Amino acid sequence: MEEMKKVPLFSDHQRLGAQMALFGGWVMPIQYEGILSESKWCRESASLFDISHMGEFYFKGDVEASGLERLFSCDIAKIPVGRGRYGFLLNDAGGIVDDLIIFRLSCDEFMIVVNAATTEKDFQVILSGLHGDSIFTDISAATAKLDLQGPKSREVLAELFGESIRQCPYFGFSKMDLFGSEALVSRTGYTGELGYEIYLKSDSVAECWRRLLQDERVKPAGLGARDILRLEMGYSLYGSDIDESTTPLEAGLGQFVDLSRDFVGRDALLGQQQQGLARIRVAFRVNSRRSPRHDYQIFRAGARVGHVTSGVFSPILGCGIGVGFVSPEAALPGLSLEIRHETTSMAATVVRLPFYTEGSLRD
């Protein structure tokens, strides 16, 4: 039987009338009042997401001597204290074991934030790559995570938790006292809007959730809206767009890989770079309100050239949007594609990411 884990706020979601569904082994809220209205609210005001299913690890030790540095595609030794960076754990073939954010808490301390379904796998991968005397622990169970995202999120947080949050730069974080409990608040997110991710102790998440929802600028949003918002930005979803059989180069995520230094999977990526890519990520807009969906097939001039990995109806653009993998010649912006599934066919046009460019992300 499939594992069904509950987040600390499970009964809060039920009280709010959320539709719940299984996601990465967790019973999570998919929607409250409606997926489209929730995604609209996030782009206009501020939405609160319970993301407590995600995994968090704590590391303390020497990044180089411990071997930690070698495990990440990005150069974590160069992350300043108080900042985070997006990157990957890769396998020897360059395939993505997980995508993650790593925060530097102090000179020798890091917090690593990973996907829910991959938490246990990632922990073992990192643990087996470490040597010497370092501390490495899975703090997921004791850690809850709330995302407040939207153009009004900074105002809301500054009023509730103090003005210091205004100084937090993109991908920066600070430790704050939230209702008597220590929390880490980072200026990161998955929506393309100005926003914050709040890491706090599982036993104090309920108060923070309820207090934030008392603000009339804030409404709860579920994973359904989150999926639309992230795809409108072209952000990859692990398990859907990327997995162990895809490399960051194929997935259009080469800027999060530093090939000038040694790390697990680097040789494979260098080889791939030398030989050229057989397939690459493509982003396309459907020429109607139809939604492409995972595993729909992509055709170019009558020939199959790839498949869709994510697709939704974009409420802000008023059309279907999607990403997938195709042979490189089919990924040039402006090209016409056809998306097929059974008897359905939709015309689409290759575009550059992000789909949505008006977000408040950098405000």
Partner 1 sequence: MELLYTREHEWIKIDGTTGVIGLTEYAVRQLGDITFVELPEVGREVRQFQILSSIESVKAASDIYAPLSGRVTTVNEALDTHPEIINEDAEGNGWLAGIEISEPAGKKALMIREEYDEYLRGLP
Considering only the stretches 43-51, 160-168, 286-294, 353-361, report the one whose residues sit in contact with partner 1 under the rule CB under 8 A. 286-294
Closer CB to partner 1, 224 or 248, in the complex: 224
User: Do residues 29 and 50 make contact, with C-beta atoms less than 8 angstroms apart?
Assistant: yes
Quick one: three-class SS letters along 226-252?
HHHHHHHHCCCCECCCECCCCCCCCCC
Nearest approach, Cβ of residue 294 and partner 1 (Å): 12
Nearest approach, Cβ of residue 195 and partner 1 (Å): 21
Kindly state the number of chain residues that form the binding site for partner 1, as judged by CB under 8 A.
17
Nearest approach, Cβ of residue 36 and partner 1 (Å): 4
Nearest approach, Cβ of residue 228 and partner 1 (Å): 7
Binder of partner 1 out of 88, 103, 123, 313 (CB under 8 A): 313
Closer CB to partner 1, 304 or 341, in the complex: 341
Based on the shown chain and the rule CB under 8 A, indicate whether residue 217 belongs to the binding site for partner 1: no
Residue 357 contacts by C-beta under 8 Å, 6 or more apart in sequence? Answer: none
Based on the shown chain and the rule CB under 8 A, indicate whether residue 224 belongs to the binding site for partner 1: yes
Nearest-10 Cα torsion for 130, 131, 133, 139:
20
Closest by CA position to 357, among listed 189, 225, 193: 193
Binder of partner 1 out of 312, 323, 350, 361 (CB under 8 A): 312
SS3 167: helix
Enumerate the β-bridge partners of residue 145: 199
Distance (Å, whole) CA 195 – CA 193: 6
DSSP alpha helices (H): ranges in 97-152?
119-129
Binder of partner 1 out of 289, 301, 317, 352 (CB under 8 A): 289
Nearest approach, Cβ of residue 34 and partner 1 (Å): 5
Closer CB to partner 1, 43 or 290, in the complex: 290
Distance (Å, whole) CA 66 – CA 79: 17
Closer CB to partner 1, 21 or 351, in the complex: 21
Nearest approach, Cβ of residue 38 and partner 1 (Å): 10
Binder of partner 1 out of 124, 128, 137, 344 (CB under 8 A): 344
User: Within 13 A of 52's CA, how many CA atoms are on the CB side?
Assistant: 25
Count the neighbouring beta carbons within 10 Å of the beta carbon of residue 3: 8
Binder of partner 1 out of 60, 121, 293, 307 (CB under 8 A): 293
Residue 112 is encoded by which pair of tokens? 């690593």
Closer CB to partner 1, 178 or 346, in the complex: 346
Q: Which residue has the tokens 């495990």?
A: 71
Considering only the stretches 95-103, 249-257, 282-290, 332-340, report the one whose residues sit in contact with partner 1 under the rule CB under 8 A. 282-290
Residue 170 is encoded by which pair of tokens? 């993109």
Based on the shown chain and the rule CB under 8 A, indicate whether residue 288 belongs to the binding site for partner 1: yes
Q: Which of residues 228-267 bind partner 1 (CB under 8 A)?
A: 228
Q: Which of residues 18-77 bind partner 1 (CB under 8 A)?
A: 31, 34-37
Closer CB to partner 1, 39 or 143, in the complex: 39
Nearest approach, Cβ of residue 350 and partner 1 (Å): 21
Distance (Å, whole) CA 348 – CA 363: 32
Residue 80 contacts by C-beta under 8 Å, 6 or more apart in sequence? Answer: 104
Enumerate the β-bridge partners of residue 347: 338
- For helices 205-214 and 153-161, what crossing angle results, to 10°? 120
Amino acid (1-letter code) at residue 271: G
Distance (Å, whole) CA 114 – CA 360: 25
Nearest approach, Cβ of residue 288 and partner 1 (Å): 7
Nearest approach, Cβ of residue 300 and partner 1 (Å): 22
Binding site for partner 1 (CB under 8 A): 31, 34-37, 224, 228, 288-291, 293, 312-313, 320, 341, 344
